Structure 1
């Protein structure tokens, strides 16, 4: 039994030296390498995150600029359309005013002509009525009577 304890202790000492001199340094190197890789990967991920945020900000700015430019184009197009519409409306108003003035002029001419025709018919009718009643009326008297009646 003492012999077994000796060999047990010797085996434990040999195992301790083998593990402390060979296996543990290798495991420690692998763990350190993994830790370095993890640290590098985290740093790279942080850099990529920053770059992604910068890219997103650039995208948002470009999108906002594009929207602003689109709104400016729409506003410009609306202004051009409104200007064209105003010009067309002004032209149409001028044409309508010209036609209305022309129509008023024709109406005034027709009214004047109608008034002259009414006077002539009234004179003739008055002469005929006076003659039918047995009277005699000269043209001056009939004209004066018609003019007085037409004035009101």
Structure 2
């Protein structure tokens, strides 16, 4: 059986590493500037040839989509405005038709009511005239009966008061004399 080995780390002093941070060493400036320029040129070429055209395409697509959406929104707003105008016109027409119908109905009902009122008034006038004729006939008949009753009553009263009944002609003449006054 093998025994496990243990790794040990020792601390090495900084003087043994070769003295300082390599980018700050003056001997490596030229090679660092060369690699910096080379990496910059490669990255610049990749960005300008690959990334920027893709981004420009994306931005152009987005701009065209936004312009299309704005044009569609303007068209839809125009359609909505036209629909609102058509709705308002239809509403105004409906109100005018309703007003016209109400006016015609009111006038027709007023004419019917006036005709009905006139027919009822004529019927009542006919009934009133008939009633007045009936009352006049009844009054005439009653007055004729009253005269006869008055003549009989006069004869009876005078007969009781005087003890002798007057002649019917004398009682009738007395009643006629009183009625003429």
- Specify the TM-score bucket, using the shorter chain as the normaliser: 0.7 to 0.9
Match of 1:33 in 2: 61
Are the equivalent residues in 2 in contact too, given 1:123–1:146 (CA < 8 A)? Answer: yes
Q: CA deviation at 1:148?
A: 1.9
Who is 1:107 aligned against? Answer: 135
Whole-Å Cα distance in 2 between the matches of residues 130 and 52 of structure 1? 110
Provide the rounded CA distance (Å) in 2 between the counterparts of 1:138 and 1:98: 42
Aligned to 1:147: 176
Distance in 2 (CA, whole Å) between partners of 1:70 and 1:136 is: 87
| Residue 80 of structure 1, aligned match among 108, 113, 127 | 108
Name the structure 1 match of 2:52. 24
1:93 counterpart residue number: 121
The offset of 1:127, in angstroms, is 3.5
Aligned residue pair count: 151
**Residues 131, 137 of structure 1: 8 Å contact kept:** no
Offset at residue 135 of structure 1 (A): 6.1
Deviation at 1:96, TM superposition (A): 1.0
C-alpha spacing 1:7/1:138, structure 2 compared with 1 (3 Å): closer
Higher RCO, 1 vs 2 (CA within 8 Å, ≥6 residues apart): 1
TM-score, reference length from structure 2? 0.74
What displacement does 1:31 show?
A: 0.7
Larger Rg: 2
